[in-house]
Amino acid sequence: MAAHTQAPEPLPRHVAIVMDGNGRWAAKRGRPRAFGHRAGVEAVRRAVRAAGELGLTHLTLFGFSTENWRRPAEEIDALFDLLRRFVQADLDKLDAEGVRVRILGRRDNLNDDIQQIVENAEAQTRHNDRFHLAIAFNYGSRDELVRAARKMAAAAAAGELDPANLDEAGFGRFLDTADLPDVDLVIRTSGEQRTSNFLLWQAAYAEYVFIETLWPDFDKSILADCLAQYASRDRRFGAVKLNDPV
């Protein structure tokens, strides 16, 4: 891809990234997977900074999936420790820069200290609106949809919701991403080309860009190139334009 120094128009309002390739990046250097995850955190910092510099307002990063519990215990522990360190080291700075932090995903099976970290991060930055950063952690889209359906059923049983009047916007209010715009662009690193149970509802009409870059090597120029690909596409949302051939 050609290098871009600034983001072309039109910009997506909401970009989501599947951060893939930390383990392979570490393996290429003869290091353990945890080494790659630490490098991946630095890439997160670069991505958040670059997104703001390029004019984006909403960024969602896929950090830990509901399926990742199948990984070795030591790797899971390392990932949770990185979350603790990231919040401790970066939260005050993000808050000062007007970044609102949201954590998407299931919480009831997380350790108490992680739940507290998540709640504190959201509470501290709730007043910010310059830039919206969502971290999908212990997240799976099917799990999110099931949890949303349960909440919706409970509201109906309590007489707070008439199912006959439910529409897509109403259902969306039960999702983890309530009040966030739909995803316009999904980027996946490391050459893999699948959705991996990520934001299936929210990305229903998103454009996808798959790149070979391993996540720890992700930077502003690569993000700008992905935005250029997005800007070059003709988004139709199921419609047909007047000049299109029949």
Annotated binding-site ranges for Mg(2+): 20, 207
DSSP bridge partners of 64:
137
Whether the CB-CB separation of 104 and 135 falls below 8 Å is answered with yes
Q: Does residue 197 have an active-site annotation?
A: no
From the list 20, 90, 176, 184, the catalytic residue is: 20
Instruction: Tell me the C-alpha distance between 148 and 174, whole Å.
Output: 5
Residue 104 buriedness (CB in 10 A; 0-12 / 13-18 / 19+): buried
Instruction: Tell me the C-alpha distance between 25 and 18, whole Å.
Output: 15
Q: Output the known binding site.
A: 20-25, 33, 37, 65-67, 69, 71, 188, 194-196, 207
> Parallel, antiparallel, or unpaired: how do β-strands 99-104 and 58-65 relate?
unpaired
What SS3 class is residue 226?
Answer: helix
Q: What stretches of 56-196 adopt beta strand conformation (E)?
A: 58-65, 99-104, 131-139, 185-188
Instruction: Tell me the C-alpha distance between 20 and 63, whole Å.
Output: 9
From the list 68, 95, 182, 197, the catalytic residue is: 68
Q: Does residue 138 have an active-site annotation?
A: no
Whether the CB-CB separation of 86 and 41 falls below 8 Å is answered with yes
Q: Output the known binding site for substrate.
A: 21-25, 33, 37, 65-67, 69, 71, 188, 194-196
Report the b/e string of 12-39 with b at 16+ CB within 10 A.
bebbbbbbbbbbbbbeeeeeebbbbbbb
What SS3 class is residue 45?
Answer: helix
Q: How far apart are the first and last CA of the chain?
A: 33
Whether the CB-CB separation of 201 and 186 falls below 8 Å is answered with no
Active site residues: 20, 68
